[in-house]
Amino acid sequence: MTSSDRSAADVAERSDHLAIGRVVRLLSEVRLAVLVVCIVSGVVKGGVGLLGAGIAVLAMLFSVMPARSWEQRGELFSRSGILLACDLVVTVVLLVLLPGELMMVYAAATVALFAVIVGTRLALFMALPVAMVLLGAQGTADGLSWLVVVTGAVGVLAMAWAGNALGSALRAQEAAARRAASGEMRRAATLERVRIARELHDTVAGDLAGATMLGRTLVDRLVRDGADPRTVTLARRLAESCATAHTHTRVALGELRRAEMSPVEELTATVGDWSERTGVRTSVRVAPAVEDIPPPVASDLRAIVLELLENVRRHAAARRVDVAVTLDGDTVRLVVVDDGRGIPDPEHVPVGESGHYGLRGIDERAQERGGSVRRSTPPGGGLRTEVVLRTDLDVEEVVPDGAVGAQVEVP
C-alpha cells in the first residue's frame, strides 16, 4: 500500500473514531452520573465502605477520559485491550460491592459503550461476566425480585446488540458523508478542468492555429519570391514549431476534456479510440462500481490499459483484444487478453529487450498502488495480463468478476 493509500485509510479510521464520539460521551456521562448517585446515596445510608468508594472513584477515571477527551485520547482507549479489560474488572467489582437498581443501569451503559467501540462479539464476551454477577450478587440484594434481576441481566446482554447497531449506523453515516464530500470535490475539480479547457480552446489553441496558417503562407510566399534558402528554412521551421505546439495543445485539451467523463466512459472511450486507430477488434467490459473509484486510481488504470494496448499494437500482431475491469471490495482488477504472438516466458520478462520497458512500467505502477501484475498464456495462445490495483474507496456492493457494467463491441 502506498503512502497516499495509508494516509487515506488513516483519515477514514479517524473519521469513524470521531463519528461515535457523541454516543461515547453520552454513555460515559451516564456512568459518571450513576456512580455519583450511588456514592452519595451509600454515604448517606452508610452502606458504602472505603473499598467501595475507592473502586467507584477508580471507575470514574474510565468514564472521565472518554467523556472529556475522546477526540484526543479515544483511540488509545479503543485500541488498548488492557484498558478495556481493567474497565470490565472494575465494573464487575462495583456490581459486587454496590448492588442495586442503579448499578444495573451502570452495567447496561458499560456493555453498550463496549459494543459501540469494539463491536458485538467482543462486547458479548465482556457482557457475560457482568450478567453473571447481576444474577448472583444482585439477586441477593434486598428489595430486588428475581424477575427484575433476570430482566436486568438479559437487558445488559441486549445492550451489546443495541450498542453495536448504533455504532455501525454512525460509522456508516460518516462514511456516506465522506463519499459525498469526495464526490463534490471531484465535481469541482472537473468543472475547473473544463473551464481551463474552454479558455485554452478559445485563446491559445486558436492563436496557434492562426500562427500555423500564417507560417505556411509565409513559407509559400518566400518560395515564390525566390527568397534566400536559409530564410525559407527558418520560416519553415517556425511554421513547423507552431504546428507542433498546436498539436500538443489539442492533446492537452483532449486530456482536460476527459475530466467530463466518468471512469467507465473514459476506459470505454480509450479502448474504442485505440481500436478505431489500429483496426484491431476489441471488447470492453467495465463493472458499474468502477464508476466511483478515486481519480488517481482511474488515471493509473487508464494509463495501464493504454500501455497494454500499445504493446499489443507494437509487438503482438493480434486480431482481437478483450478488456475487462471489475471492482472487488477495495481492489480494482484489470484483465487484458489478446490472440497475438504472446511472450515465450510471460512470468519472467527481462528488462532491456524491445517493448519490455513498457511492461516494467506497468509493474511499477501496480506496485505503487499496492497491487500486482500476472502474465500468462491463454489456451488459444497470445497473452493474458491481469493487473490488480488497491483503492481506499469503501465499496458497499462487491461486483463479481462476471458482472458487466458497460459493454461495447468495436469492429
Residue appearing with cell numbers 507494437: 314
113-115-119-125 Cα dihedral, nearest 10 degrees: 120
The pLDDT value recorded for residue 182 is 67
109 close to 27: Cβ distance less than 8 angstroms: yes
The grid coordinates listed for 327 are: 471492482
Cα three-residue angle 85-111-78, rounded to 5 degrees = 50
Give the domain ranges of the chain: 1-260, 261-410
Q: What are the distances in angstroms from CA 115 to CA 166, 170, 288? A: 9, 13, 35
pLDDT digits (tens, 9 = 90+) for 221-239: 998 888 888 998 998 999 8
The pLDDT value recorded for residue 393 is 38
What span, in angstroms and rounded, lies between the C-alpha atoms of 143 and 264?
A: 68
Pairing of strands 320-328, 281-286: parallel
Longest dimension (CA), the chain: 120
The pLDDT value recorded for residue 326 is 93
34 close to 102: Cβ distance less than 8 angstroms: yes
The pLDDT value recorded for residue 142 is 47
The pLDDT value recorded for residue 404 is 41
The pLDDT value recorded for residue 387 is 94
What span, in angstroms and rounded, lies between the C-alpha atoms of 339 and 381?
A: 6
What span, in angstroms and rounded, lies between the C-alpha atoms of 373 and 348?
A: 11
The grid coordinates listed for 56 are: 467507584
What span, in angstroms and rounded, lies between the C-alpha atoms of 31 and 28?
A: 5
The pLDDT value recorded for residue 333 is 94
The CATH superfamily holding the domain 261-410 is Histidine kinase-like ATPase, C-terminal domain (3.30.565.10)
The pLDDT value recorded for residue 14 is 62
Neighbours of 113 (CB within 10 A): 28
- Selection from 286, 283, 263 nearest residue 272 by Cα: 283
| Phi, psi angle pair for 337, to nearest 5° | -125, 130
Q: Which residues of the chain have pLDDT under 50?
A: 1-8, 138-143, 353-355, 393-411
What span, in angstroms and rounded, lies between the C-alpha atoms of 248 and 244?
A: 6
The grid coordinates listed for 69 are: 477527551
Q: Is 331 helix (H, G, I), strand (E, B) or coil?
A: strand
